[in-house]
A and B are shown apart, each in its own frame.
Chain A
């Protein structure tokens, strides 16, 4: 079917409008991150810096800045959570996709239902439990807290990938003498590798940006994660917008790169996890 040239023009205009809408805040972020203080506070404001400078970025990494520390903290917590979630979810999602056992439907529905729980509804008891366990102000408190929302999501996402794999493959392996566990580990897990990547990326993304638990469970400055740490640049009376936006750009970069690689698998997982009953 050939499209008339006017159709192309209309599409081009639509795409352009969408891009402007989506990219405007990013251009503000980038612009202010490249402006020296005298340019940040001009009136009226303008988008394109006249004398772009990397000073804000240098300052974010510079002496006396905790930013590198926060980066390492965030990375540690996000990676720790993701490893645990993938390990637990790999087994569970296979169980829910393939095996029969009493209470299966109940537990799976409970898992889905846990999406409804607002984190705000469980944060007070979690805070007290962490306190009693002596975990407040440790990375463990964050990792354990993050499991509350990321294990259900992980199981739900991964299950969609398991459902997509033909049952006959494992059955053949079992006839050849593999145990269920061996068939799972040697045949099925390698096949869902793209799904594992996408799920891991999604969990990393959720934990990288988590804010409420990080704000509550961590009390000392040197253990903060990035989303809480960027408040260093927000003063009581004045905000250092240049530094804040440079830090923001740096927080975004890892997750943007991550998504670039797994976008296709993730969409597949989200829609399969959601629609395949």
Chain B
């Protein structure tokens, strides 16, 4: 038995050490910095009162609001589009595997490249979006999508949905293939229509995969940096900052490491509480079903 312990640690220790050195220890350092007013040249220890500075910062409500709008809209539409396209691509048709391969390309495309391409599409003069919308008679004149505070965040959100939905699609496709055909046959015999089959057979069978996909995409989207950084840099007038972009801005453009660390800790705690709550909720649901 004792030998078994040794084998267990022999196999897992390298990853544990890396995790501690590269993630846990830096996180404690961030917590430590967050209690100070550290900048490039000086550091003044403030203790927990440093957090008064965070909650007095007028950017906190804005960054928090943006992060929520951004994450909720992106995740919701990725779920919808992912599930819809998975259902379509689960039907048999000629060239299906090729189409499936093509559909995951946005997810595989590097984030910086995607940001650049969408910047070009939204460009007020060179971009095709304005041209097409005008041809369709939906707008009168070319719009500056990314340089107006009201529309910029939604423009980036649209690109993020495009960029990330193939991941959800892949997960749901795998999930659909796991739904037992006997259940559909039984539902057919009972005279259930398409919608009822979806509601009472497909959705319940896919519950675990939807749960985990929702959690993963929520966390990834909340932490996603490149797209906003490349498309708007947090502008115009700081209107599109979410936590990662604002933390980066504070730390490496203004060298306000203390402020950056407080925003980072807030970001982390929010995600932690959200995830714990979500896991608790889905466990309880599972318990209620059994």
Contacts and interface: CB of A to CB of B under 8 A. Distances in A.
Interface of A: 8, 11-12, 14-15, 18-19, 21-26, 28-29, 32, 40-41, 43-47, 88-89, 91-92, 94-96, 99-102, 104, 107, 110-111, 113-126, 128-129, 144-145, 147-148, 151-152, 155, 180-181, 205, 208-209, 211-212, 216, 226-227, 230, 241, 244-245, 248, 251-252, 255-256, 259-260, 263, 267-268, 270-271, 274-275
Contacts, number: 261
Interface residues of B, number: 87
Contacts of B208: 275
A25 B117 contact: yes
Contacts of B150: none
Interface string B85-114: 100110101000001111111101111111
Nearest to A184: B11
A91 B14 contact: yes
Nearest to B229: A211
B251 interface: yes
Contacts of B102: 19, 22-23
Contacts of A248: 113, 116-117
B281 interface: no
B260 A275 contact: no
B174 A267 contact: yes
Contact of B225 (A116, A211, A274): A211
Nearest to B17: A88
Contacts of B15: 88-89, 91-92, 111, 151-152, 155
A201 to B, nearest CB: 10
Contacts of B73: none
B264 A252 contact: no
B111 A230 contact: no
A-B pairs, top 3 by smallest CB distance, nearest first, are A101-B8, A95-B11, A209-B110
Interface string B11-42: 11011101100111111011001000000000
B69 interface: no
Contacts of B101: 259-260, 263
B2 to A, nearest CB: 10
B90 to A, nearest CB: 10
B177 to A, nearest CB: 10
Interface of B: 4-5, 7-12, 14-16, 18-19, 22-27, 29-30, 33, 85, 88-89, 91, 93, 99-106, 108-114, 116-118, 120-121, 125-128, 131, 134, 162, 166, 170-171, 173-175, 208-209, 212-213, 216, 219, 222-223, 225-226, 229, 243-244, 247-248, 251-252, 257, 260-261, 264-265, 267-268, 271-272, 275
B27 A15 contact: no
Given A22-B103, A147-B18, A205-B108, A117 B117 contact: no
A107 B24 CA distance: 12
Contacts of A26: 105, 117
Nearest to B226: A211
Contacts of A128: 29
A44 B229 CA distance: 28
A209 B112 contact: yes
A148 B22 contact: yes
Nearest to B275: A116
A55 to B, nearest CB: 18
Contacts of B257: 124
A255 B108 CA distance: 7
A111 B110 contact: no
A268 B114 CA distance: 26
Nearest to A98: B11
Contact of B117 (A95, A147, A245): A245
A182 to B, nearest CB: 12
B19 A32 contact: no
Contacts of B88: 11, 14-15, 18
A40 B128 CA distance: 11
A126 B18 CA distance: 13
B246 to A, nearest CB: 9
Given A21-B162, A96-B12, A120 B264 contact: yes
Contact of B85 (A18, A148, A271): A18
Interface-central residue, B26, B99, B173, B223, by most chain A CB under 10 Å: B26
Interface-central residue, B24, B30, B121, B162, by most chain A CB under 10 Å: B30
